[in-house]
């Protein structure tokens, strides 16, 4: 029966009466709007799906801080191709871990996972179509944010998508998100994946290092789809601009902001 019907996830654990009580609204008014609790839960699914976040995205300020710490620890010369390559490699290695931990511990991720499972168990009809469309919009927004993050960092470090691959940052973000989500899902039942490290040099850096599994996945995507931008000239001014970028505090994070 399970193989035929599938496992279902829903909102049965939420009491409609408890919702009404905690909301502090009139029970009569609620039942006037939703005569049956199933109607309320249908609207709730639509609302959750439309505002769902597939994962907690690391914000721009955190990315700048991470890049700043990598630059501060770097002993290479940023005016040389190998020096910049080593910085990119190290950034991929350490940022993948922080992204993985953020997603793995994200309540938004678990809600999104439950919504996906709930959607798959809904019968054909308007509700299923509405939830599917809402989840798709949420997914597109999230991948868009990830693509913007990859583009900002890659551009700052003088990299671009390889023209011969036909890939842009949205595709790169889609692949990176899929790899991240797959490993996070595996880690739910195998937490040791969080701590697993592999001595490797997937990017051709000056020296090998201990890489996480998601770091290896991110490095593979970056190596396949990114290359140094030949139009970028790395001189003292460019290096200074990069360091200024990572030390600049966004206005909303300033004191009193």
pTM for this predicted structure: 0.81
HEC assignment per residue over the chain? CHHHHCCCCCCCCCCHHHHHHHHCCCHHHHHHHCCCHHHHHHHHHHHHHHCCCCCCCCCHHHHHHHHHHHHHHCCCCCCCHHHHHHHHHHHHHHHHHHHHHHHHCCHHHHHHHHHHHHHHHCCCCHHHHHHHHHHHHHHHHHHHHHHHHHHHHHHHCCEEECHHHCCCHHHHHHHHHHHHHHHHHHHHHCHHHHCCEEEECCCCCCCCEEEEHHHHHHHHHHHHHEEECCCCCCCHHHHHHHHHHHHCCCHHHCCCC
Encode pLDDT of 86-115 as tens digits.
999 999 999 888 888 888 877 778 788 888
Mean pLDDT of 161-187: 92
- State the pLDDT confidence band at 7, using cuts at 50, 70 and 90: low
In the chain, domain spans: 2-249
Q: Give 213 or 245, the one with higher predicted confidence.
A: 213
């Amino acid at each position: 029966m399970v193989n035929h019907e599938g496992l279902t996830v829903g909102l049965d654990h939420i009491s409609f009466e408890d919702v009404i009580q905690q909301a502090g609204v009139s029970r009569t008014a609620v039942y006037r709007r939703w005569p049956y609790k199933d109607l309320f839960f249908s609207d709730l699914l639509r609302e959750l799906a439309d505002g769902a976040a597939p994962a907690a995205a690391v914000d721009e300020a955190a990315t700048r801080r991470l890049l700043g710490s990598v630059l501060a620890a770097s002993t290479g010369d940023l005016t040389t191709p190998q020096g910049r390559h080593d910085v990119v490699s190290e950034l991929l290695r350490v940022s993948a871990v922080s992204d993985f931990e953020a997603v793995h511990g994200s309540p938004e991720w678990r809600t999104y996972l439950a919504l996906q499972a709930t959607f798959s168990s809904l019968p054909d009809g308007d509700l299923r179509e509405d939830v599917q469309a809402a989840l798709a919009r949420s997914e597109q927004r999230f991948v868009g944010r990830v693509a913007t993050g990859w583009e900002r960092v890659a551009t700052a470090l003088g990299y671009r998508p390889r023209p011969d691959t036909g890939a842009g940052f949205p595709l790169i973000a889609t692949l990176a998100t899929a790899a991240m989500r797959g490993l996070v899902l595996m880690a739910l039942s195998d937490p040791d994946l969080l701590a697993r490290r592999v001595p490797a040099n997937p990017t051709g850096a000056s020296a090998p290092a201990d890489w996480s599994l998601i770091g290896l996945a991110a490095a593979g995507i970056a190596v396949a789809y990114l290359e140094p931008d030949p139009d970028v000239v790395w001189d003292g001014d460019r290096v200074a601009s990069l360091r200024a970028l990572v030390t600049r505090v966004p206005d909303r994070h300033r004191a009193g902001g």
